[in-house]
Structure 1
Amino acid sequence: MEIRDKVVVITGGASGIGAGLAERCAREGARGIVVADVNLERAQGVARGLGANALALRCDVSREAEIQELVRQARERFGRIDIYCSNAGILGQIGGIELEDALWQKMWEVHGMAHVWAARAVIPEMLERGEGYLLVTASAAGLLNIVETPAYGVTKHAAVAVAEWLRIAYGRRGIRVSCLCPQSVQTDMTRDGTGSAAVNGVLTPEQVAEVVVQALHEERFLVLPHPEVAQYFLNKAQDYDRWLGGMQKLYARHMEGS
């Protein structure tokens, strides 16, 4: 799908990957851009830099009602939504199974249910006109896991699964779905360190946005700004036990350094 003349909604749009996507969509000629974030002031700052066709809205994606209201206001301003980037995410904290239930629940909501709620809000209208695009931001951790925190890795797996199911269910009915799975990116979440995710370097949001735009043009499901992830994913599928052994070594190094 081409971005030119399309209306794009981006959650988590106030910084990092979301802000990078918003800026790139503006350069691609989007007709309207909605920068949504729990931090409205920062979202407004991003929107101001994009021009008159940008709108900043507050949205906490852990609440379905706020996603529904975001979609309502976006349609009220621009008439329709062509591309919905379900991008908001949280890092939580380093730890293991002892991490409190409240953190797990928040992760489930932001990394799992937020994508379900977004689909509920936008897919019916997209189906009516026979066209629409959902971009789900997961993580390489959603394909490969991550040693520092199970809550992040497990819920990012859920994000990948939601995106897969949406593609399976609606891909032949005009709904395109892509799943973004980067490793380390320069965002607020990586300000205090990138951990094991930085093995292939830390990309800028602008670099990630470039890969995303190309994937949208090609309507490709898996978006891998770090191309090495494809080989790791293949290795995992070909010899799961060997891959788990390698991850155990990585976890041991993590524990030694903590």
Structure 2
Amino acid sequence: MDIQGKVAIVTGAASGIGAGLARRFAAEGARGVVLADLNQERAEGVARQIGGAAMAVRCDVGREADIQALVAAARQRFGQVDIYVSNAGILGRMGGIELEDALWDAMWRIHGMAHVWAARAVVPEMVARGEGYFVVTASAAGLLNIVESAPYGVTKHAAVAFAEWLRIAYGRKGVRVSCLCPQSVESDMTRDGTGSAGLDGVLTPAQVAEVVVQTLRDETFLALPHPSVAQYFQAKGQDYDRWLGGMQKLYARHMAGG
């Protein structure tokens, strides 16, 4: 898809990947870029940097009503939604089955149901027009899991699965679907030390945005800013038990503080 002249919504757009995508979409000639975030003040700051093609909307993607209101605001300003990037996410805390249900529930809503609610809001109009693009930001953890956080890895797997289902169900009805699966990217989570730097380096949001734009042009499913993720994913599929053994070693190292 050519971004020029299109209207895009990006959630989690006040910083990190979301802000990088919003800036890049505007640079690519989008006629409208809607920046959605819980932190409306920061989102408005990014929108001012972008200029007249951008607007900021406060949105809690963990609430379907907020997503419906976001899409309504975009339609009121720009007439339609051509591209929806369901990008907002949270890291939460490190841990596993001992973590409280409230954290698991927040992860399910933000990394799972937020994509469902967004698709419910925009996919029907895309089908009616015969054209549209829906992008789910998952994570390399959605393909490979992550040893530090059970709820993060589990819900990011759900994000990948939902993106796959959308592609299967609507790919022949004019709706393009892609799934973004980066490793570590410069953001608030990595800056304050709570995010993992990963094995393959920390990318800038601009570098990730470049990969996403190329993915939209090519209309391929997986957007992998860290190319090594494809190799790891292939290794996982070729010998699942060996891969699980390697992850067990990483988990043991993590628990030992390594």
TM over 0.5: yes
Deviation at 1:194, TM superposition (A): 6.2
SS of residue matched to 2:81: coil
* Matching of residues 55-204 of structure 1 within 5 Å: 55-193=55-193, 198-204=198-204
Deviation at 1:192, TM superposition (A): 2.8
What's the TM-score, normalizing by structure 2? 0.98
Contact between 1:112 and 1:158, CA under 8 Å: does it hold in 2? yes
Aligned to 1:213: 213
Q: Are 1:247 and 2:208 counterparts?
A: no
Q: Return the alpha-carbon distance in structure 2 between the equivalents of residues 106 and 18 of structure 1.
A: 19
Deviation at 1:200, TM superposition (A): 0.2
Q: Return the alpha-carbon distance in structure 1 between the equivalents of residues 192 and 141 of structure 2.
A: 18
Deviation at 1:189, TM superposition (A): 1.5
Write the deviation string for residues 52-87 of structure 1: whole angstroms up to 9, x where unpaired: 111100000000000000000100000000000000
| Residue identity opposite 2:209 in structure 1 | A
Contact between 1:146 and 1:196, CA under 8 Å: does it hold in 2? no
SS of residue matched to 1:200: coil
Q: Return the alpha-carbon distance in structure 2 between the equivalents of residues 196 and 244 of structure 1.
A: 20
Contact between 2:190 and 2:196, CA under 8 Å: does it hold in 1? no
Contact between 1:34 and 1:55, CA under 8 Å: does it hold in 2? yes
In structure 2, runs of 5+ residues without a counterpart are none
Q: Return the alpha-carbon distance in structure 2 between the equivalents of residues 254 and 231 of structure 1.
A: 22
What's the TM-score, normalizing by structure 1? 0.98
| Residue identity opposite 2:231 in structure 1 | Q
| Residue identity opposite 2:92 in structure 1 | G
* Matching of residues 38-57 of structure 1 within 5 Å: 38-57=38-57
SS of residue matched to 1:179: strand
Write the deviation string for residues 164-211 of structure 1: whole angstroms up to 9, x where unpaired: 000000000000000000000001121233665510000000000000
Contact between 2:20 and 2:206, CA under 8 Å: does it hold in 1? yes
Q: Return the alpha-carbon distance in structure 2 between the equivalents of residues 141 and 190 of structure 1.
A: 15
The change in CA–CA distance for 1:139 and 1:171 in structure 2 (over 3 A counts) is same
| Residue identity opposite 2:238 in structure 1 | Q
Q: Return the alpha-carbon distance in structure 1 between the equivalents of residues 165 and 239 of structure 2.
A: 25
Write the deviation string for residues 123-166 of structure 1: whole angstroms up to 9, x where unpaired: 11111110000010000000000000101000000000010000
Q: Are 1:32 and 2:37 counterparts?
A: no
Q: Return the alpha-carbon distance in structure 2 between the equivalents of residues 27 and 198 of structure 1.
A: 29
SS of residue matched to 1:139: coil
Contact between 1:148 and 1:195, CA under 8 Å: does it hold in 2? no
The change in CA–CA distance for 1:194 and 1:245 in structure 2 (over 3 A counts) is farther
Write the deviation string for residues 222-249 of structure 1: whole angstroms up to 9, x where unpaired: 0000000001000000100000000000
| Residue identity opposite 1:191 in structure 2 | R
Aligned to 2:236: 236
Alignment coverage as a number of residue pairs: 258
In structure 1, runs of 5+ residues without a counterpart are none
Q: Return the alpha-carbon distance in structure 2 between the equivalents of residues 224 and 104 of structure 1.
A: 26
Contact between 1:37 and 1:59, CA under 8 Å: does it hold in 2? yes
SS of residue matched to 2:136: strand
